[in-house]
Amino acid sequence: MCKKKLLFLGVLLFFAMGLSLEVLLQVVYASSLCTTTSCQVVGEYVKFGELALIKAGAAFFWLLWLLLFFAHRYDKKWLWGSITLLLFGALAFDGALLGFQFVGLKENCLICIGVGLALFTSLFMLARIQNSRLLAMLGIASGVAGLWPTPSSIFPLKLPS
């Protein structure tokens, strides 16, 4: 295996273990790595709660690690395509979540920002392995699109009574 691929596997393992540690801390010890109250405020506005988002994030990074492991081992195009598709979807979802936090709630959840940075790091490492600047630009566009405020938040629609 190439050194870049091994490094990417190690970085994904680090991200998956970090979110898994957060889940463990919240479930077993009722504490968190995030010391701000922003995480709790954001968790109240999400339908499934903060813990469900963190569990989904940990599961996502474990799945991405598993797909990357098999993609390195067997080098199938559909595995690389699945990794790219999942990463773009996660970037769009996290971008929308961060956009809602920054624009709608005026809160900054450190875990969500950390996950966003982890996703962008993963994107840039994947683009480097694939030697594709286009992949990096499309991923950036996918992630930043959610951060952009919706027109209704800029120009609220007031209907006549």
* Average pLDDT, integer, range 69-95: 90
- Higher pLDDT among residues 146 and 18, named by residue: 18
| pLDDT at 135 > cutoff 70 | yes
Total number of domains constituting the chain: 1
Does residue 142 fall inside a structural domain?
A: yes
Question: In this predicted structure, what is the pLDDT of residue 124?
Answer: 93
Determine the structural domain holding residue 82 and report its residue range. 3-148
Spatial distance between the Cα atoms of 7 and 19, rounded to a whole number of angstroms = 19
| pLDDT at 91 > cutoff 60 | yes
CA-nearest of 103, 108, 101 to 153 is 103
**What is the tens place of the pLDDT at every residue in 118-127?**
999 999 999 9
What is each CA distance from 95 to 27, 72, 117, in whole angstroms?
Answer: 26, 28, 11
CATH code of the domain in which 126 resides: 1.20.1440
Does residue 88 fall inside a structural domain?
A: yes
Spatial distance between the Cα atoms of 2 and 88, rounded to a whole number of angstroms = 24
Does residue 51 fall inside a structural domain?
A: yes
Predicted confidence band of residue 155 (pLDDT cuts 50, 70, 90): very low
Question: In this predicted structure, what is the pLDDT of residue 84?
Answer: 92
Does residue 155 fall inside a structural domain?
A: no
Do 6 and 120 contact (CB within 8 A), yes or no? no
pTM: 0.84
Does residue 156 fall inside a structural domain?
A: no
Spatial distance between the Cα atoms of 136 and 134, rounded to a whole number of angstroms = 5
Question: In this predicted structure, what is the pLDDT of residue 161?
Answer: 55
Question: In this predicted structure, what is the pLDDT of residue 16?
Answer: 92
Question: In this predicted structure, what is the pLDDT of residue 25?
Answer: 87
Does residue 53 fall inside a structural domain?
A: yes
Does residue 157 fall inside a structural domain?
A: no
CA-nearest of 71, 54, 58 to 8 is 71
Does residue 64 fall inside a structural domain?
A: yes
Highest mean pLDDT (candidates 27-31, 44-48, 129-133):
129-133
